[in-house]
Structure 1
Amino acid sequence: MEPYRDIIELGLFELSALINPSGYEVSFCTKAGVTILNLPASGAGGVPSLECPGSLWTEETEGTNGVGTSLWEARPVSLYKSDHFLSRYTDNCCAAAPVFASSGDILGVLNITTSSESVSRELHQMAYNILIKMAEKVERRLFRHYHRDHCLVEMRVSPGQMALVAAREEGSLIAADRHAMNFLRATGYGIDGKSLWNYFDRDNSFFTPGSSKSVALVHKIDGVRIPSKIHFPIRSPLSSGRPDHVARAPVTGSRSLLETVGSDPKMIRNAGLLQRVRGSTLPVLLLGETGTGKDVLARAIHADGPRSHKPFVALNCAAMPETLIDSELFGYSSGAFTGARKEGQTGRIMQAEGGTLFLDEIGDMPVALQTRLLRFLENAEVTPIGGGAVRRVDVRVIAATNVSVAQAAREGRFRADLYYRLAGVVVNLPTLRERTDFPEVVAKILADYPAGAGMSVSSAAMALLQSYEWPGNLRELRNVLQRAACVADDGMIQEDHLFFDIEINAGVTSTAIAPPAAISLPPSPQRGDERAMLMAALRDHNDDAAETAKALQMSRATFYRRLKEFGIRPRGTRRIQMSPTN
């Protein structure tokens, strides 16, 4: 379950954005019927005490209910009030749909529940239909993720139904989702080894390498043409077939959303979601640790959308004094307060008319001001401080925070209703230590820094970079690489050019510790013994630094620091070249 958690959570947030205004809460339960993820309803109609994580929903324990019945019958089910078996649930409306893994087994169940009296049977049926579509969307994402290294063939087998198969590049099949299995009239999931051309007329140009292409497959039995699209595996621009080399990202001006996020699967999924909603006015909430690139992504969202020709206005809610945020955001009229400009001031919201308003560090906004912001989000109207004409403003709001909004809401530091207004689309940014495209990130940072143009990174330096925890994420990596590019004298960044930021103690700003790169301490007898031990261990492992560190039971970061301290450079150190991408 854990590898798919991000995909499940994305589906929950999308589903919640669609039906939450009607008073539904959404949850995901395992195939054992245990709730593990839950988004409560925004209004009083939710029943969070029932759907909290850890609650068990099987037919054996709770009678006829959405989750338990859906698991038992392996199909979507909808229950309206008295359809429930137990009387304590007859005020509730619920629906559930199983989510199938690529193997064909049930992974879990998407569930929606409300006790709102205003939900009619017709409205519940509409929510049920949305739920089914979302469960199928999650299945497709799971299938694509599991087979991301294979060719994926997407077939429109009926006007409202897509089917997916995974294939090797010569056409032999690996797997098919349940809709494809039904369409191909295949039994079980033993499709591996059969060919796509057992079912369709051969198209020799179909698997010509490329990015993606649209074709019409002709079914062998009835000759029906099936509109299809093939997606080839996403290849990182760094994939050169040589593990010792890293391709340099090209130096460009503004980047598209996909170029900004790199090739990390989580970030690609984030970009895919943002691209699908780029034409809407849904607010976007970016969540992630400090330094994960929330501001950069916000600008890319703006630049990649229909508002790109309009203003992008940013306000850092943490950097602005509490007494000034109100006037900065909403503006003020002439003579509103002592020291105010005679002509008044236009607020950031009105400055962003037609474009994007980016509220960074929204989790640090004072609670009193959150109420005014919520009012604006509800009616799109701004009234300057001190009075004046009410003005309607057309802006798209992007907010970002490194604060746990759920915890802040529980502690009374953040309004829950404001969170639901901002959470039209929620994007969780992975930390740098979680990203799988680290070498590409390094290449992009150096490409964007004048002193880093044409710079290369040795394999030992790259290993040291990847072994570090990066508490400051991309911001800290940028600082380290820019310092290294300034001190590297031969176009090659070596491990002794890397000076990391270290925290002196909790609550104190990190400080760079940068000893002179070319100076090593004279060895004392004890230090000389340690130096000899390190050199002997390296010889025993053919100058393989990673293997030597493992044998000495040291982390690679500690080992490389020891080597730098003693002025030792393994003879087997290889260079990681950064060459322009074709």
Structure 2
Amino acid sequence: MVAPPRELAAPARTWTTPEALPLPQQKERTELIEQWHQRCSALGLTRVERPDFEPLMRGDLAVARERNQRLFTHAAPVMEMLFEQIVDTESMIVLADVSGTILHSVGDDRFLQRADKVALTPGVNWAEHSKGTNAIGTALFEEAPTVVHGGEHFIHANHFLTCSAAPIFDPRGNMLGVLDVTGDQRSYHRHTMGLVRMSARMIENQWLSDDYGNRLRLHFHSRVEFIGTLLEGIIVVGADGKILGANRSALDQLDMSSAALRMHSLTSLFGTTAPAVFDHFRSPLPTPMTLCLSNGRQFHVSARFNGPQRSMAMEPRSAPVVDSAGLRSGAGAEPRLPAGVLAGATAHSADGTLFSGLHYLNTGDPQIGALIQKVQRVINRDIPLLILGETGTGKELLARAVHQDSNRARQPFVAVNCASIPESLIEAELFGYEDGAFTGARRKGAVGRIVQANGGTLFLDEIGDMPLALQARLLRVLQERQVTPLGSLKSIPVDIAVIGATHRKLRDMIEAGSFREDLYYRLNGLVVKLPALRERHDLDVVARRILLSDCPHGTPEISARVMALFKAYAWPGNVRQLANVLRTAAVMAAGEGQIEEHHLSDDFLEDARSGRAPSPPQVSMPIRVAPPVAEAMPMHFTEPLGERSAEPEAESGPAQATAEPATPRTLGEAEVELIRSTLAAANGNISVASKRLGISRNTIYRKLRWGK
């Protein structure tokens, strides 16, 4: 097969395994593999070649990595997310440069050891001339996504592998390297190739944004709901209107090579000019433009620009913060932050404005440190974030820190607690409503939380508690980037980053039919799990920061006996409960300089000394999913990777085997049982129970009502 020109950066053909193809295509596939093998024989390779265990010298590998540092910088966070999707599947992820030399790999430890036996390791070259037919080398030669499965590998030693690789191109169509997922051939899944291709496109889009961050970028698709997804085309326009570069989706949609597209200007391509685009998007809430090619084909277009002409997306004079209670603070006012959650960490900038970034949340716990490193890699990369964690672990403060460290920091952060707003009102709260939309509404209507977040971040806390019917409307907003208030026929365009959070097992809810699978995949970009307080190793640091926040003048110390009591306690309410306990103790110890046991409330002491505080139900680890090969769905990741037979086995360990029959089988049942037992211990006192659990009275009422 003759390789396509290097400028053709968007090859459409993806090969799969023979058994997955119709009979005519099986024959075509067999003939193709034979061509590949003949090419290897012509290179002087034999099928019984011994693996080459002579990688680059350490210094040479360092030079190769330094030469490809930018590629690694863009690929590393994507590889981490990719690994989250395939963990426990006997697989690894490989990044190779344009010569086929492996620069970096991550994967399951056991499979990495097997890969070492065939020299699938950093520093080794896997181009076809070295390793014969394999996904990395063949993708480099064909300049197209490639699957090589089992016995299709030219060298016999590699027959236990199944490999799916996709080349990575820059905006000018030059190949940068290859991203590959390799695993045991018995674990092959047809969706893996789709996951690799979309991950490669994420890297390419990040490279484009990095190259042309200060240029006008047009994001387009023939269907408006696809704008903002990995399926959107992106072209970069110079100040003179000339096309400077594009991503592969743009080349696919326009049916052009990179070189051919760069011969065009905005005028010759779409019949418009850069000033006309700026004028259109200068309004506060512009609608997408509709532009046409010379053949009459229409595209919906959105524009982004980070340079000095930022006026095309007018910024508000102040950046209000809207919390879940609807309270707003404008410029110069302190936003309401959740007191003491996660680490009680806040700081003030030079001008006195209160802020809390990721740096201030790192309190020395290895789990928190690793989580922050992951999150930092995806900030400003249009990757949705889903935060898992028990109630009280600090999901909202983490979301605020992400917002504060992002390019949207000067725009609103709007937090909506989907569990605290009555079901009958949450739709109006989110989407807003027109005058007279329903009985009892304000005369002039109200702007919904989504529109309030325009330009900034929308934090959907306890997304698992959102009513099912409302999930469909939210999904449409995330796809179309438009909101239609209740009682209105007019849609309002919005530009928002969405962060979701929940303490529930969304995957179980999907199977039960109480959470939409398509919404789950829309929210599921990077999934992180905040550890429970009892699992952290920084309790003393967290406690100290909470006291510093609440008592900046005359901060009391914590006695050794009290700290030992804290470390032995299970903290069912997590950091929120710790903050409540310390706040009360600080008041009781006012003027004494040190918190002793007698400063703690009697109910807490009773529970802590008796060990009666039960461990809360465990939150599931992040669900790993992968997108399909087909690119017809407007989602970042749209289908599960397949049957994860290893996961049920991992969940059914000895602890579960010896569990008593009365143990709750679902997260909801466990919550209700915990609330009832805490309520019984408090002699039916709702206020006392809410303090012990670190949740609101309304939440207790709602959970008990649902649990009947």
Please, what TM-score do these two structures have when normalized by structure 2?
A: 0.42
Gaps of 5+ in 1: 1-10, 20-24, 37-53, 59-66, 98-107, 131-247, 515-582
Residues 1:305 and 1:480: Cα distance change in structure 2 (over 3 Å): same
- Name the counterpart of 2:488: 387
Matches within 5 A, 1:2-401: 14-15=78-79, 26-29=85-88, 33=90, 70=115, 73-75=118-120, 78=135, 80=146, 83-85=149-151, 94-95=163-164, 114-115=189-190, 123=197, 253-401=354-502
Per-residue deviation, 1:513? 9.0
Residues 1:412 and 1:329: Cα distance change in structure 2 (over 3 Å): same
Alignment equivalent of 1:403, drawn from 487, 501, 504:
504
Distance in 1 (CA, whole Å) between partners of 2:113 and 2:468 is 41
Given residue 491 of structure 1, which amino acid in structure 2 is its aligned partner?
G
Name whichever of 276-285 and 362-371 sits farther off.
276-285
- Name the counterpart of 1:506: 674
Distance in 2 (CA, whole Å) between partners of 1:117 and 1:488 is 59
For the 8 Å contact 1:457–1:493, the answer to whether it is kept is yes
Deviations, residues 117-137 of structure 1 (Å, cap 9, x unaligned): 9969x959958999xxxxxxx
Deviations, residues 173-214 of structure 1 (Å, cap 9, x unaligned): xxxxxxxxxxxxxxxxxxxxxxxxxxxxxxxxxxxxxxxxxx
- Name the counterpart of 1:160: none
Per-residue deviation, 1:388? 2.6
Distance in 2 (CA, whole Å) between partners of 1:299 and 1:128 is 25
For the 8 Å contact 2:164–2:182, the answer to whether it is kept is no
Given residue 350 of structure 1, which amino acid in structure 2 is its aligned partner?
V
Per-residue deviation, 1:318? 0.4
Residues 1:110 and 1:255: Cα distance change in structure 2 (over 3 Å): farther
Given residue 115 of structure 1, which amino acid in structure 2 is its aligned partner?
R
Residues 1:110 and 1:334: Cα distance change in structure 2 (over 3 Å): farther
Deviations, residues 320-342 of structure 1 (Å, cap 9, x unaligned): 11121111111122222233333
Deviations, residues 482-524 of structure 1 (Å, cap 9, x unaligned): 111121251111123233545697333847999xxxxxxxxxx
Distance in 1 (CA, whole Å) between partners of 2:466 and 2:490 is 25
| Identical columns (%) | 41
For the 8 Å contact 1:251–1:447, the answer to whether it is kept is no
Given residue 27 of structure 1, which amino acid in structure 2 is its aligned partner?
I
Given residue 95 of structure 1, which amino acid in structure 2 is its aligned partner?
S
Per-residue deviation, 1:355? 0.9
For the 8 Å contact 1:12–1:26, the answer to whether it is kept is no
Residues 1:479 and 1:84: Cα distance change in structure 2 (over 3 Å): same
Query: Residue 674 of structure 2 aligns to a residue in which SS?
Result: coil
For the 8 Å contact 1:15–1:26, the answer to whether it is kept is no
Residues 1:513 and 1:440: Cα distance change in structure 2 (over 3 Å): farther
For the 8 Å contact 2:148–2:163, the answer to whether it is kept is no
Distance in 1 (CA, whole Å) between partners of 2:429 and 2:442 is 13
Residues 1:124 and 1:372: Cα distance change in structure 2 (over 3 Å): closer
Residues 1:266 and 1:254: Cα distance change in structure 2 (over 3 Å): same
Distance in 2 (CA, whole Å) between partners of 1:293 and 1:124 is 31
Matched, 1:494 2:662: no
Per-residue deviation, 1:82? 6.8
Residues 1:325 and 1:125: Cα distance change in structure 2 (over 3 Å): closer
For the 8 Å contact 2:392–2:575, the answer to whether it is kept is yes
For the 8 Å contact 2:481–2:493, the answer to whether it is kept is yes
Q: How many residues align?
A: 340
- Name the counterpart of 2:513: 412
Residues 1:296 and 1:129: Cα distance change in structure 2 (over 3 Å): closer
For the 8 Å contact 1:409–1:416, the answer to whether it is kept is yes
Deviations, residues 351-396 of structure 1 (Å, cap 9, x unaligned): 1111111111001111111111111111211111223321210111
- Name the counterpart of 1:158: none
Query: Residue 475 of structure 1 aligns to a residue in which SS?
Result: helix
Calculate the aligned-residue CA RMSD, in Å.
Answer: 4.4
Matched, 1:436 2:493: no
Query: Residue 460 of structure 2 aligns to a residue in which SS?
Result: strand
Residues 1:356 and 1:250: Cα distance change in structure 2 (over 3 Å): closer
Distance in 2 (CA, whole Å) between partners of 1:93 and 1:391 is 47
- Name the counterpart of 1:105: none
Query: Residue 358 of structure 1 aligns to a residue in which SS?
Result: strand
Distance in 2 (CA, whole Å) between partners of 1:452 and 1:441 is 18
Per-residue deviation, 1:344? 2.0
Distance in 2 (CA, whole Å) between partners of 1:406 and 1:372 is 20
- Name the counterpart of 1:550: none
Given residue 435 of structure 1, which amino acid in structure 2 is its aligned partner?
R
Distance in 2 (CA, whole Å) between partners of 1:454 and 1:269 is 30
Distance in 1 (CA, whole Å) between partners of 2:680 and 2:567 is 18
Residues 1:452 and 1:381: Cα distance change in structure 2 (over 3 Å): same
Query: Residue 424 of structure 2 aligns to a residue in which SS?
Result: helix
Gaps of 5+ in 2: 1-74, 93-107, 122-133, 137-145, 153-158, 167-180, 205-343, 349-353, 608-612, 615-672, 683-708
Residues 1:93 and 1:368: Cα distance change in structure 2 (over 3 Å): farther
For the 8 Å contact 1:70–1:96, the answer to whether it is kept is no
Per-residue deviation, 1:254? 2.7
Per-residue deviation, 1:83? 3.6
Given residue 444 of structure 1, which amino acid in structure 2 is its aligned partner?
R
Per-residue deviation, 1:255? 3.1
Deviations, residues 190-240 of structure 1 (Å, cap 9, x unaligned): xxxxxxxxxxxxxxxxxxxxxxxxxxxxxxxxxxxxxxxxxxxxxxxxxxx
Alignment equivalent of 1:482, drawn from 583, 586, 594:
583
Per-residue deviation, 1:431? 0.8
For the 8 Å contact 1:27–1:110, the answer to whether it is kept is no
Distance in 2 (CA, whole Å) between partners of 1:117 and 1:285 is 22
Query: Residue 313 of structure 1 aligns to a residue in which SS?
Result: strand
Per-residue deviation, 1:429? 0.4
Distance in 1 (CA, whole Å) between partners of 2:346 and 2:466 is 38
Deviations, residues 54-73 of structure 1 (Å, cap 9, x unaligned): 9xx99xxxxxxxx9984652
For the 8 Å contact 2:435–2:444, the answer to whether it is kept is yes
Distance in 2 (CA, whole Å) between partners of 1:432 and 1:71 is 38
Distance in 2 (CA, whole Å) between partners of 1:464 and 1:276 is 37
- Name the counterpart of 1:533: none
